[in-house]
Amino acid sequence: KNFEDFPEHRSNLFNLLRAINHHCFPALLTESNNFTLIIESIKWAFKHTERNVAETGLHTLLELLQNVQASSVMNAFYVQYYL
């Protein structure tokens, strides 16, 4: 799959993920399969060829890690997703 098609959709998708992480982080923790998909999406974002999408992905990852650090799932998160 390529990274060039529909750049505005990709950018808006990653902005949406960042907003969800920022405003309703506990909702991300309700389903482990969905959380794994969110993590994979964030990884895909910061590997993106467009700089603005990659930066959004990195900011989202930083904010996600800060939210995890302040939550009760911190240990389980690091056990499962330790990079």
Per-residue DSSP letters for 10-37?
A: HHHHHHHHHHHHHH-HHHHTS-HHHHHH
How high is the pLDDT of residue 57? 94
pTM to 2 decimal places: 0.85
Give the pLDDT band (50/70/90) at residue 33: confident
pLDDT value at residue 70: 93
Q: Please give the DSSP secondary-structure letter assigned to residue 3.
A: S
Averaged pLDDT of the chain: 89
* pLDDT tens-digit series, residues 13-29: 999 999 999 999 999 88
**Residue range 74-81: mean pLDDT, rounded:** 89
